[in-house]
Structure 1
Amino acid sequence: MKAVVMTAAGNPDVLQLQEIPNPKIQADTEILVRLRGAGVNPIDTKVRSRGTFYPDKTPHILGCDGAGIVEAVGLSVDRFRVGDEVYFCNGGLGGPRGNYAELAVVEQHCVARKPTCLSFAEAAAAPLVLITAWESLYDRAKLHGGQTVLIHAGAGGVGHVAIQLAKLLGAKVCTTVGSEEKAQFVRQLGADLPVLYKQTDFDRAVLDWTNGEGVDVAFDTVGGETFFQTCPAVKVYGDLVTILEPDAKLGNLKIARSRNLRISLELMLTPMLQNLVEEQERQGKILQQCTRLIDDGKLQIHLNKTFPLAEAAAAHEMLESGSMMGKIVLIQN
């Protein structure tokens, strides 16, 4: 099969299209998927530039997100059959199991049926951001109706999904964006207050919006100084969830401590990295629930741009340029 192989850690040009052997089902509970799309996520660019989690396994194929058609199933597979259209988040952190390829082998518990209303490219854009936003808002912060939430980078991959999930619960949403175009985009998703952070101090805008109290929940998808600047915008005893590791060189937690904030760290890759089967199955069930929401017209995925598989390097360059709405996907014919 054709696959984009990471030949070394470095710039996007280390991603090279190669011909490699087809993957084979090795466990009775695995399925073989003919991929039609692979999502491109920030974790892909980080692994490419820094090195993989499993340097001893080769070849290195990136891409955690995939969507395609089941081509073969293991002897014990009872959830899928040949011909099913599926999507999933699995692999792509080092070694031969990744989705920048024509074929992928995946454990059935990681997989869900693709929403019928989505193209394969749209479906491939979805799994990682759906699970990340779901776990952050629903599992970590326990968000519920009537609460207020601040979502950073609301026009981004995770952010645009998080806005919709928050609104589905009946929460009020404030979100940071970098342009008026993005402000209009997030309003269409249901955001109550877009804040153009380049022109306005978001923490002050949030306090004004909440009559000086701060939001019940803040969801940080940016990291860096933004994490620390968010603390005074969260109400006393509120929740702050971040998907990035706070850097102590950029701030401190004095304000968070004085406001008695509950801080949660979200890494949806943990079940894959630590081989936690029950948690991987739970994430598969999250995708099943999202499939229903998407097919019911309650949740949408914004696909910004697609690239042919052979142009993975160009896709990485676009993602790393920043200031992008929605998601990028590699498509396989």
Structure 2
Amino acid sequence: MRALVVDHGEAGPVRFADVEEPVPSSDEALVEIRHIGLNFGELNYVRQWPAGAVHGHDAAGVVVRAASDGSGPPEGTRVALGMSAHAWAERVAVGTASLGTVPEGVDLAAGAALGIAGVTALRVLRKRSLLARDVLITGASGGVGHFAVQLAALAGARVTALVGSQDRAAGLRELGADKVLTDLAETECRFDLVLDTVAGPLVAQAWNSLAEGGTIHLVGYSSGQDSTFPSGALFGFGEPRTIATYGDMTPTSGELTDLLGLVASGRLVVPVGLRGDWKDVDDAVQTLFARKVHGKIVLDVI
């Protein structure tokens, strides 16, 4: 069986290898993978995973053997995998609590793009009521950002999308952003919630734009830079402001089901910016690192 495994060498971050067939436990389904979704973090920080391990978290496919304990979807069901380890292989054993059923009429490839990005956005934005509140989404042209802009708008928020350049602003207003900025200095708005995927100096800037009682949720660090605060910046009067980290890898079946339902009803657009063949994964990775894609990259497993 072919799979994409972690490669710590110069040719990395992943390479094809022949690996053993998975042996599902009683609460795992055997899924034939049809599509995989790439994420910046798992590829850019690949040394956090052991060399030679099957890599990847997001994928979609068809159940070829249902879990023996009777849980989860039956054989033949189209499913999306969310935050599932070792997902980039021709066949994967997956805990049924991490599977979402892809409704009829929804492209199976769209399910592969939801995973980490969609579930992260949904979980953060569910932390508080967003109706008529001001929400800032940084790195809004990326995978998490595209989902977050749409979900925040669906929840009734006034959404500001922050991007690195004007050429990355395309389509964000159509997805629900009220404002699209390239610099926080362009607005005097005070935000009730900030979903930050960038980190670095931007965190301190966002802190200065945070309303009383507001929260910054840190869900990524694509800038690769340190975040530093001037002396006294974290002191203040009024309702406390907070900075929250995010690393939730708990089972995703419920969130995937909700997201796929929104896709099926036409209320959520899956931002696939590049679709290709997994044999061209090296080119896809370089395109991702070069920030040439708006949204997600999905590769077909042939």
- Under a length normalisation based on structure 1, what TM-score does the superposition of the two structures give? 0.83
Shift of 1:31: 0.1
Alignment deviations for residues 149-203 of structure 1 (CA, whole Å, 9 cap, x no partner): 11112111000100111011111001112344433310110100001x2xxx31x
Mapping of residues 1-333 of structure 1, within 5 Å: 1-6=1-6, 8-13=7-12, 15-25=14-24, 27-48=25-46, 50-52=47-49, 55=50, 59-92=52-85, 98-139=86-127, 142-195=128-181, 197=182, 201-202=183-184, 204-207=185-188, 210=189, 214-244=190-220, 250-252=227-229, 254-258=232-236, 260-269=240-249, 271=250, 280=251, 283-333=252-302
2:152 aligned partner, one-letter code: A
Shift of 1:315: 1.8
Root mean square deviation of aligned Cα: 2.2
**Mapped partners of 1:221, 1:249: distance in 2:** 13
Judge which range, 309-318 or 59-68, deviates more. Answer: 309-318
Identity of aligned residues (%): 25
Question: Is contact 1:154–1:160 with CA below 8 Å preserved after alignment?
Answer: yes
Question: Is contact 1:31–1:77 with CA below 8 Å preserved after alignment?
Answer: no
1:205 aligned partner, one-letter code: E
Query: How many residue pairs end up in the alignment?
Result: 298
Q: Which has the higher helix share?
A: 1
Secondary structure of the structure 2 residue equivalent to 1:100: coil
Shift of 1:11: 4.0
Secondary structure of the structure 2 residue equivalent to 1:159: helix
**Structure 2: runs of 5+ lacking an equivalent:** none
- Under a length normalisation based on structure 2, what TM-score does the superposition of the two structures give? 0.91
Question: Is contact 1:31–1:105 with CA below 8 Å preserved after alignment?
Answer: yes
**Mapped partners of 2:36, 2:248: distance in 1:** 17
**Mapped partners of 1:258, 1:317: distance in 2:** 43
Secondary structure of the structure 1 residue equivalent to 2:126: helix
